[in-house]
Structure 1
Amino acid sequence: MRLLAAAGCVFGFLLAYVVFVVSPAGRRLEDATLPTPTDGGPIAAMSPQLIGLGIIAVLAIGATRRRWKQTGAAAVLMAGAIASAQLLKVSLLFRDGPIANSFPGGHVTACAAIVLALLLVLPLEVRPIALVAGAVLTAYVAATTTELGWHRLSDTIGALALCGTFAVLLSDVRPVWWATLMATCAPAAAVLAGYGVVSLTSVTDLVIVATGAITAGVVAAVALPLCAQPRATANAPVSAGYDEGPTRPLSRVKESSCRSRVPQAQEQHPV
């Protein structure tokens, strides 16, 4: 199940790169929606500090709750996703245009990785609440970096697919089938939706809104394998072989049952 979801995220990542970076038509459509890049002011200056604080907070929560296995998985998720995004963007995946080498987006990768890592160290019962808040935060970061002219919609989709790959592989629960299916299909569906948006409009504000909406949906989908797991049924203890007491061999049970049905011989007293 995890491998299926991871394969879907990898496919969505590659599809985004082919459709929007390799394809001249995709590049042209996205470049037409780019706003004039700005320095970002305080957002750009504070980004490294905020990312560092987020990473420290996740690891501190995991250590405080003594969830060592989940804390290790969270550290691998954050380090792996952020490092992979930088390696791919700078050294492996060339992109020309007004904003060169922007795929996948680094800011969205960092934010999504921190959100998904946080889910790993939190109890299962509060993960859905954290997921909603994290999806909104990541959508805000994606929309803001698009508005500032730092990234395109495809950069965001690539970042989310990359983080989703790490998240589903490191999930600490056995996900239900529908959660796996949504995580598998979400990145590719986001590529199709994004291509439809930039094909229908070149209005920057509409693309920014669509970027935020698509981001929230993909984050929620790829995080489902970390939150949803099969419910325990009423006969789960029976199916697991648990009967709340010591068991006796079947032959002894039958023997005891047969003896109970044989009438006891009456004592004969001398006359």
Structure 2
Amino acid sequence: MSEKKSTKKSSESKASTSKSKTTSSKSKTTTKSKKSATTKKSKTSKRPATKAKTAKPKKEDLKDIDDTLILNGISLIEENKLEAALECFEDFSKTYPQNPFGWYYLGYTKMLQDKKKDAMRHFKKATKLDKKFMPSLYYQGLIEFENNNFEKALKIFDDMMLKFSTDEIKESGFNIPYFVAICYHYLGNLERAEEFFLFAYNLSPEDPVVLYYKGFNELALRKYDFAIETFKTLLYIDINNQMFWDLFKGYSYFYHQQEDKKKAEE
């Protein structure tokens, strides 16, 4: 984990003998942890990319259009028959080229195949047909995020926050404020990240990913009391959360290294 690496690097720095210098050294560790977090994403932060948010069309969305091909394609995705699913969505898009669902599902399936350029092209096509088609916007942002294009991802997710109401975002199941927050965090704007982590937490109060990064951002801001409460909530929900215990292990390692050096210097 990036946090663990950063604390190990900090432990190699020269230890001071005074209590104030030890505190300063710990602060530097937190700062380095923050910097490391802005350059590397943990695997858990990618979790939303693996969720099968199939966004099944509602009858009012398709009106009088036959949705058989779409529903068949979705079933094939769930069976991991992606090539067969693509055929369904391609046929649908040829028959109904002005309907965004066909293009969206082409993009979604291509994304599952890790063909991100093709996926992005189809998502953009769906968005062009319907500028408020939330699933295609979301996955455009997610692809940029996974490619470490945090500024581009932030722009997409920030625009979504303006386009959609809180109720619409909550109903969609896409925790857009989390991605706004984590983009700000990786870009080094921890104060703005804090605002959106709180928003994300209010939307999904039991999401361990949101809780971990909310707490980690609070650590980076040196708001230790807030971080403690956030991590307490995280452990209540997920006592075996690997990211937290890796972080804890890193800080413990640093602390004991400092204590050993102090004793050696006495």
TM class by smaller structure: under 0.3
Structure of larger gyration radius: 1
Q: TM-score, normalised by structure 2?
A: 0.25
Identify the structure with bigger relative contact order (alpha carbons < 8 Å, sequence gap 6+): 1
